[in-house]
Structure formats: C-alpha cells, structure tokens
Amino acid sequence: MGGVLVSYHQKIRYRSDMTEITDQPDAARSTQEWEARIGAQVRARRLDQGLDQISLARLADVSTSTLQSLENGRGSTVRSLVRVLRALGAESALDTIAPHSDVSPLDVLRSAPAAPRRRVYRPRGPRASRVVRDDAGRRGERPSGGAGE
C-alpha cells in the first residue's frame, strides 16, 4: 500500500483509487494534511491522463517546481492550483469551493420577508432633558443646578 510522506512522523495512506485511509474527520485535518491530500489527488489525475510533470506545467502555464510543490503538499497559490486544475480538465473540483450561482445576492435580500419594524423609545417629559452623555459616551443624569430645581 502506497503513501505520501507528510513529515518525519506522519504518513498519509491511500487506497488504490487514491482515496485516503483515515479515521480523522475533515474538520480535524491540519493545513499540511489538506495540502498533501490535494497534492496527491492532483498527481493521481495527472498520472491518469498520462502526463509527466513538465507537460502539465507547460499546459497550466506554471513552473515545474510549482507543480512539484503542489503535488508534494508543500503548498501553492490559489492561482497555480486553478491553472493546474484547468489544464487537467478538473475545474468541476472548484465548484465545491465556489459554486456558481445565477441568483444575485441583492435579489435574495429583496425576496426575503422584511423584519418587523421596531419603535425606538425616546424618553419625553421633564426628566428626558436631564439624561446626558459624558465625554466617554456614558449615560447619566445632569447634576442638579441647585435650589432652583
């Protein structure tokens, strides 16, 4: 059974169809584990199509070292990943990350039921004018002016 060496202490194992053998849920994976997983899948697609790294790098308009870094789980830019996936004809993999929607976000907001309007309470009467804010924005009552109040 093959595998991809992620670090000195950790090895990710794969079945023959390149699906990962793991007991770890997706949410618990580290960034390095995701990079290794994505890189292994890119490598598997490249090999399925009978391409060597140099040919795919040319098709994707990336350097060979960029493709090697991506496949070996050492990271890549999103731009390079998109270029490689396009060259492999695997743009559909991006739909799970950024699904295409014909619906405008503004249309969604407009069609949503409006929240009920709420009244704002504003105190009225003689006590209302005594509520002031200090320099820090804290509310309090205006100090009484003496015997006249």
How many helices (H) does the chain have, and how many strands (E)?
5, 5
d(CA 141, CA 123): 13
Total count of residues recorded for the chain:
149
Domains and their CATH numbers in the chain: 3-96 (1.10.260.40)
Instruction: Calculate what percentage of the chain has a pLDDT beyond 70.
Output: 63
Condensed to tens digits (0 to 9), the pLDDT of residues 87-121 reads 999 988 888 777 777 777 777 777 777 777 777 77
| Average pLDDT of the chain to the nearest whole number | 75
d(CA 39, CA 91): 15
Question: CB-based burial of residue 96 (10 Å sphere; 0-12 exposed, 13-18 middle, 19+ buried)?
Answer: exposed
Condensed to tens digits (0 to 9), the pLDDT of residues 68-82 reads 999 999 988 999 999
Pairing of strands 11-14, 20-21: antiparallel
